[in-house]
Amino acid sequence: MRTLNPACKFISLLAVTLLLAGLKDPWWNLSAFLVSLLLLLLSGIRMRTLLLYLLPVVLAAAGMFFTGYRFTAESAMPVRSDTFIFQGNSQLMNGILQLSRVLAYAGLGYLFALTTDRVFMVRSFQKQLHLPQVFAYGLLAAWGIFPHMALEYKRTKAAFRARGIRVYPVSPALLAPLLVKSVRWSEELSIAMESKGFSSNARRTDSSPVRVHARDILFTVFCCIMLPVTALLTH
């Protein structure tokens, strides 16, 4: 998964997510989740890391199971639940549908996020999806500044503590200086980038171009054509 072109991977996994949203089939959702986990492990993501990422997802999924179970639409909605895939106990199936939906979307989301290099992704979006240069630069600049923001937030928090002022982890008192600092950074960064020629729309060459290979096309065809056709035939 790591070697796939980010733009192709994004389109493919987005197509699978939208397909699952349309199918409303818990078994398809759970299959997508399990396949995503398998691919993540095969891509070298450590089990411990994966479990840490999945903990909030599992909690949210459990919450959605109970919501689906206790608050089924039944005949109150314009669309009856049994017109979807529900068979047997519709309350239980609705709970499983909601639970599996959370797991599937998160699995596919992590499959993309944890196997994709961020800078390579923006460059691929720029090349293959024609993301305008100015937005690509803006995104990369903002992404590059993120670690500095985290550090600044910690510093401000420490300064408040040193003065004996108690602040909550997410506090307006901490956010206000961060916002001021962020606006200043954005101005300074844009001036610095413009001075290095980053703002012009002139065509430029790449030291390592982002290309689409045969494997990327195969993956995209599988996710965008073969899977929907299979789903259509089996439903």
Partner 1 sequence: MDRKLETWKLKDVIMMAILGVVFAAVYMAVFQGGLALSTALTPFGLSNFGFEIIYGVWFMAATLAAYIIRKPGVALITEMLASAIELLMGNSGGLTVVLTGFIQGLGAEAVFAAFRYRKWDTVSMILAGIASAFLIFCYELYYLNYITLSPVLLIGQLTVRFISAAIFSGIVCRLAGDALAKTGVVRNYAIGASADIGKIYDEEE
Cβ at position 49, least distance to partner 1 in Å = 11
Residues 6+ apart with CB under 8 A from 189: 141, 145
d(Cα 101, Cα 12) in Å, to the nearest integer? 18
- DSSP state, residue 4: S
What are the tokens at 121? 């992704």
Using alpha carbons, select from 216, 212, 37, 10 the residue that is nearest to residue 116. 10
Closest to partner 1 by CB, 160 vs 164, is 160
Closest to partner 1 by CB, 51 vs 134, is 134
Cβ at position 55, least distance to partner 1 in Å = 9
Closest to partner 1 by CB, 144 vs 164, is 144
Cβ at position 98, least distance to partner 1 in Å = 6
Closest to partner 1 by CB, 170 vs 214, is 170
d(Cα 139, Cα 136) in Å, to the nearest integer? 5
Query: Cα 221 to chain center, whole Å?
Result: 21
Closest to partner 1 by CB, 187 vs 206, is 187
d(Cα 41, Cα 56) in Å, to the nearest integer? 19
Cβ at position 235, least distance to partner 1 in Å = 15
d(Cα 70, Cα 56) in Å, to the nearest integer? 21
Cβ at position 191, least distance to partner 1 in Å = 8
